[in-house]
């Protein structure tokens, strides 16, 4: 059984927890990296309420080329799940029932890579979007306390709208 969804106040220690984990990941999966290791998700946005789970996205060349990283990550207590396996390798740590970290191995430059960075960056820069997102997450966590899929799906339209606001900036960045 999974732990219930709980949204907590921002913890100023989250960035350091990411930095510590990134250092370990670089050591263990560095040979499969083809880009940076990014702190994503709500714990990457100062001041934003969040589930206390550090979301990490590591850039790889491709999913097939990074497949051998899966057993290496198992030695770090990351558990692989074939969740959205057409676009990423997804892991949780230390268990599915109690999660402190999520890791997403994502091809650098893919649509998923660009969307996750765009969403994080918009929330970091836009206090109004941050407040709206926090309110939505609180409401969804109350309604779907024991259903992670429903909670995640409930955020999808909001995330799409925020990413769409960043599209012109994404396009300018590729000129």
Report if residue 5 sits inside a domain.
no
pLDDT digits (tens, 9 = 90+) for 33-43: 999 999 999 99
Mean pLDDT (whole number) for 87-101: 94
Domain that holds residue 73: 14-173
Residue 66's nearest CA partner among 103, 119, 114 is: 103
Q: What 3-state class would DSSP assign to 60?
A: strand
Q: Looking at residue 134, which CATH number applies to its domain? A: 3.30.460.10
Chain segment 9-40, per-residue pLDDT in tens: 999 999 999 999 999 999 999 999 999 999 99
The answer as to whether 56 is a domain residue is: yes
Count how many domains the chain has: 1
Residue 1 lies in a domain: no
* 54 is a domain residue: yes
Residue 172, pLDDT score? 53
Please give the structure tokens belonging to residue 96: 């599915």
pLDDT of 143 higher than 50: yes
Residue 60 pairs with which residues in a beta bridge? Answer: 33, 107
Nearest by Cα to 141 from 50, 35, 34: 50
The pairing of strands 54-60 and 99-107 is parallel
- Count of residues making up the chain: 175
- Whether 7 is in a domain gets the answer no
Q: At what angle do helices 148-173 and 127-143 cross, to 10 degrees?
A: 160
């Amino acid at each position: 059984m999974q732990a219930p969804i709980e949204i907590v106040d921002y913890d100023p220690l989250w960035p350091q927890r990411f930095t510590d984990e990134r250092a370990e990941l670089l050591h263990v999966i560095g040979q499969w990296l083809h880009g940076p290791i990014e702190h994503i998700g709500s714990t990457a946005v100062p001041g934003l309420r969040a589930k206390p789970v550090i979301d990490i996205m590591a850039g790889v060349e491709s999913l097939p080329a990074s497949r051998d990283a899966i057993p290496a990550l198992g030695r770090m207590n990351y558990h692989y799940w074939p969740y959205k396996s057409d676009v990423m390798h997804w892991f949780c740590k230390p268990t599915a029932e109690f999660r402190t970290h999520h890791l997403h191995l994502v091809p650098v430059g893919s649509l998923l890579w660009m969307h996750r960075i765009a969403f994080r960056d918009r929330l970091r820069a836009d206090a109004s979007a941050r407040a709206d997102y926090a309110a939505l997450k609180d409401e969804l966590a109350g309604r779907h306390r024991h259903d992670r899929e429903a909670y995640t799906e409930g955020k999808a339209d909001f995330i799409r709208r925020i990413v769409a606001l960043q599209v012109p900036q994404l396009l300018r960045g590729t000129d």
